[in-house]
Amino acid sequence: MNINLYPIISDQISKPALTVVLSELEKMLDSKTTGAIVELGCYIGTTSLFIRRVMNENKDNRPFHVYDSFEGLPPKSTQDSSAAGIDFKAGELAVSKKQFMEQFRRAHLEPPIAHKAWFSNLTDADLPDHIAFAFLDGDFYESILTSLQLVWPRLDNDGIITIDDYHRETLPGVERAILDFFQGKSYRLSYAHNIAVIRKDFS
């Protein structure tokens, strides 16, 4: 997809990072993996809009779920401590579910199935049984750890997880959560433009 054809409606993801996410999404669609697409942490909907556009280009009508508190960031834990990340505070980046859905109306796109909840309050019933692609953008340690706990057991064998803010000084909890969660598990990780790309490893 040529992302330059459409506006990026927030400054929370860069064009290079968005390109990585969408490239991995297209790889998943080419693989014919049948699980759902999920996004945990959608904010105003920049990546959500582009995910839907890629789905439309590929004539893919699988379920697409997004999850967000729609109340901004949660409190930090000690794992998120960084002098460079003082601007990321509880309550920042608050956008209502109505504002999120309005972006799809303006873009004339079908909205995803939107779930309003803190990640820690999500249950097994809130997520699809099978997931083919996930974009995780929780910013903080606990949010990413919880997201991985929810998504990884449901990930299809050829599925892909992409995670924003990996190896970023301002948000160290993201990388710490990934390292803690995958300790002792078989997985493959690569990254570019602060996007971690994770797959199951059967070698």
Residue, of 94 and 139, whose pLDDT is higher = 139
Instruction: Provide the sign of the torsion angle of the four alpha carbons 111, 113, 116, 122, taken in this order.
Output: negative
Residue 64: strand pairing partners: 37
What φ, ψ does residue 49 adopt, rounded to 5°?
Answer: -60, -45
Residue 138 is assigned to a structural domain of this protein: yes
Residue 107 is assigned to a structural domain of this protein: yes
* CATH classification of the domain holding 64: 3.40.50.150
Residue, of 91 and 27, whose pLDDT is higher = 27
> What are 79-127's pLDDT values in tens digits?
888 776 676 777 777 899 999 999 999 999 999 999 999 999 999 899 9
Residue 79 is assigned to a structural domain of this protein: yes
Residue 10 is assigned to a structural domain of this protein: no
Sheet holding 195-200, edge to edge: 113-116, 64-68, 36-40, 131-136, 155-164, 195-200, 187-192
Cα 155 to Cα 132: distance, rounded to the nearest angstrom = 6
Task: Give SS3 for 113.
Answer: strand
In terms of DSSP H, where are the helices of the chain?
15-31, 46-57, 97-107, 141-151, 172-181
Residue 74 is assigned to a structural domain of this protein: yes
User: How high is the pLDDT of residue 32?
Assistant: 82
Residue 9 is assigned to a structural domain of this protein: no
**Residue range of the domain that includes 137:** 15-200
- Mean pLDDT within 155-163: 97
| Number of folded domains that form the chain | 1
Residue 118 is assigned to a structural domain of this protein: yes
Residue 7 is assigned to a structural domain of this protein: no
